[in-house]
Every structure is written in structure tokens, then in C-alpha cells.
Amino acid sequence: MSAYDSVLVCVTRQKACERLIRAAAELKKKNGALYVIHVTKEKWNFVDNAKDGEAMEYLFSLSKSYGAELTILNSNKIPETISQFAEHYQAQLIVVGESPDNSTNSFNKRLSELLGDSKTEIMTIPGSCAT
């Protein structure tokens, strides 16, 4: 299995996303960088929702425990935002979760198109946590 210098994990605010962060941490080199990103729609505000705020706090703590930085961005163009973030941080691998409705395939296809000729790979981890 390859080890990467820079790995980006795409998560939702579901607590089940721990498996994605764990898998990504295992794929990065010992001194590599691990980034966790959650892109929300522009009008979403977790500050006013205790349940969402709790999930974000959990993801923040979990990210820190794996030595990762958690970034939360607001955008209605989620794949575009993720590809720009990956390019900026020179991510060699983007880890996403498999969605229960198979929308991951179209998301991955769009993300791959946006990454163009970059050498960034996309890995889908099976399970219940979508991107």
C-alpha cells in the first residue's frame, strides 16, 4: 500500500466519519500532512443547531487526535471547493466516503474532472459516511 505526503479527507458532520479519518491517517507517511475538510452549503449554520455543533466539535477533536487540521468551508460548489483546497495544499490523495445512494460516483467523476492532469488520486472508502 502506498504512503502519501499529503492526504485530504472529505467528511460530513456525521460522527461515523471517524473511519474515513482513521483510514486516511493510515495512508499518509509518518511525517506527512493530514487535512480534514467539510464543505457546507452557504446558508448552513451549525452554530444555531446544537446537534450539528456537537458533531462538528466531535470531528474537530477527532481530527486533532490524528494530527489533522479540520477546515470547514461554506460553498454551493462543493467539488470545486474541494479540488481548489486539494490543489492549494498539494494533496496527493483525497479520501471520500461511499454514499448510500451511489451519488459518490458522480461526485468522484466531477472531482476527478476538476483535478485535471494533477496526480491527485481519489479513494472511496465503503460504508455509511458520504462526502
CA distances from 122 to 1, 52, 86, 113 (A): 14, 27, 11, 11
Provide the CA 56 distance to its chain's centre, in angstroms. 13
Domains and CATH numbers, the chain: 4-125 (3.40.50.620)
* Average pLDDT score over the chain: 86
pLDDT in the model for residue 54: 78
CA distances from 120 to 4, 56, 78, 127, 128 (A): 10, 27, 17, 22, 24
- pLDDT single digits (tens) 29-41: 999 999 999 998 8
Residue 129 has pLDDT above 80, yes or no: no
Q: What's the mean pLDDT in 49-71? A: 84
Q: Which pLDDT band, with edges at 50, 70 and 90, does 27 fall under? A: very high
Q: Which amino acid is at 12?
A: T
- pLDDT single digits (tens) 82-126: 999 999 999 999 999 887 766 667 888 999 999 998 999 999 998
Higher pLDDT: 83 or 58? It is: 83
